Structure formats: C-alpha cells, structure tokens
Amino acid sequence: MDYRQLFRLDDRVALVAGGASGIGAAAARALGAHGARVVVADLNLDGARAVAAAIQQDGGRAEAKPVDVTDPASAADVVDRVVARWGALDVAVVTPGINVRKPLLRYTDEEFDRVVLVNLKGNFRVMRAAGAAMAPRGRGSIIVLSSIRALVVEPGQGVYAATKAGLLQLVRALAAELGPQGVRVNAVAPGVVETPLTQPIKAHPEWYRAYATKPALGRWASPDEIAGPIVFLASDAASYVTGSLLLVDGGWTAVDGRFSPPL
C-alpha cells in the first residue's frame, strides 16, 4: 500500500453535475487538483466553462458540458457523452439543488413540484445514469449532496428537508444494489455553507449571525471546506465506505438546540 497515493485521482474521469458554482465548483476544482479529468456540467454553461478554465489554469484537465436535470433525457445524455469522450466514468458528484423557504401551509403545488423535481428526481436521474455507466466496469464512486436537513428541520424548509432525506435513502438503496458491482455510493451532508443557495440569508444580518452560532465551530463554512470530503469519497482512501452519510456541518448536529449554562 502506497499511502501517499490514497487521495490521488490521476487519469480518473469525474463528472460534477451542478459544477458551475458553490460546492459543485469547489468540488470540480479539488478533483482536478488531485489529477482527475473533470467534466463540469451545469445548466449555466458559461459558469461551467469558467470553472473548467480555472481548472486548466491550475494545470488540470477539464471541459464543460450542459446538463438540465429537469429534462428526462439530459442526465443520461451527458453521461453518455462523457463515456464516449473518455471511455469511462469513475466519479460522479451530484449537487443540483433549489429551495423555496415557506411554511408548508402556504406552499403551492407548483412550488412543491419544482423543488422535488430538481432536488430529488433530477438528482436521481444523474445517479441512475452514472450507476448504469459504472456497474459494468465493476468500480466507481457516486457522491450526492444531501444536507443536515436530512436529519434536522426548521420552519420553512419542510419540502427541502424532505428531498434531502429522500436523497439519503436513494443513496443507501443504490449503495446496496451496486455494492456487488464494486460501485460505491455516498452522501455528504453540509451544514451552513456560503453558496448562491444561501445568499438570501446574508441579506438578513441577524439571521446570518444566528446560523453562525449554531455549529460547534461557531461559523459558516466555505464551499472549499466541503470539497475535501468529496475528494476523500471519490478516492481510494474511501474504498470501504459506501451507503454512508458524511456530516460536514461544523458540529451543528452534535450540538443542535444546545444551551450553554453559566458553569
């Protein structure tokens, strides 16, 4: 065992769905820095191209492709194109997500359908296509972005939380189904991360500060701090890790609802 190579991804092909911004962009750049050939896929093709260019400027290999997870054929198409171009798919990172913050009694059917379509069904489409490409080769790693909201909820995030919990169960089921073929499937559960999805919170300083007090570390995370765990799950360092939920929440769930008494 050459422990120095555990985290290396040299010549592996990695697809990052939702790679134009936020955690997806950070993951794409980190995978590229560890030697992977990265396909940055996003509905925002200009943003995906910018991330691919940044990877290239850092000495890595990357290209951008469009993907729309709300389109039934798009996820399968982008995976097919990756395999046709590179001959394989070794890593798939699945990040697309939206949120409508609203009490459940005020949620419309259209809002419910939109959040579920992107967060659950859209992510499932990428997972399904990636798994189908990896299973015949007997190896691969699928990494799905869940959330602490798969475990703990708050008012206004019921539908979002339901989709993140649903993703966790899809991850576990796919891990069980593809384990015999050597394909690993895991979920990452970030806490509060400064991304475009959480940008509205920054417009409310009191809300932003309140979230910063919840984790044990007492602050928000940057997208780069979620990239390392994704590289770990993509690499041989996690060769015996599958069906897991990796919490990357600064200790939020460990101390959620805490009260610090005057000791």
Site of tokens 């041989």 = 236
Catalytic residue among 160, 208, 211, 240: 160
Other CB atoms within 10 A of residue 4 CB: 7
Cα distance between residue 160 and residue 153, in whole Å: 9
- Does the active-site annotation cover 160? yes
Indicate the residue type of 193.
V
Question: Are residues 166 and 187 in contact, defined by beta-carbon separation less than 8 angstroms?
Answer: no
Query: DSSP secondary structure string, 149-173?
Result: GGT---TT-HHHHHHHHHHHHHHHH
User: E-assigned strands of the chain?
Assistant: 13-17, 37-42, 61-66, 91-94, 140-145, 183-190, 245-248
Spell out the residues 6+ positions from residue 147 whose beta carbon is closer than 8 angstroms to its own.
160, 161, 164, 189, 190
Question: Are residues 69 and 14 in contact, defined by beta-carbon separation less than 8 angstroms?
Answer: no
72 phi and psi angles, rounded to 5 deg: -55, -30
Give the residues across from 187 on adjacent strands.
144, 245
Give the catalytic positions in this structure: 160
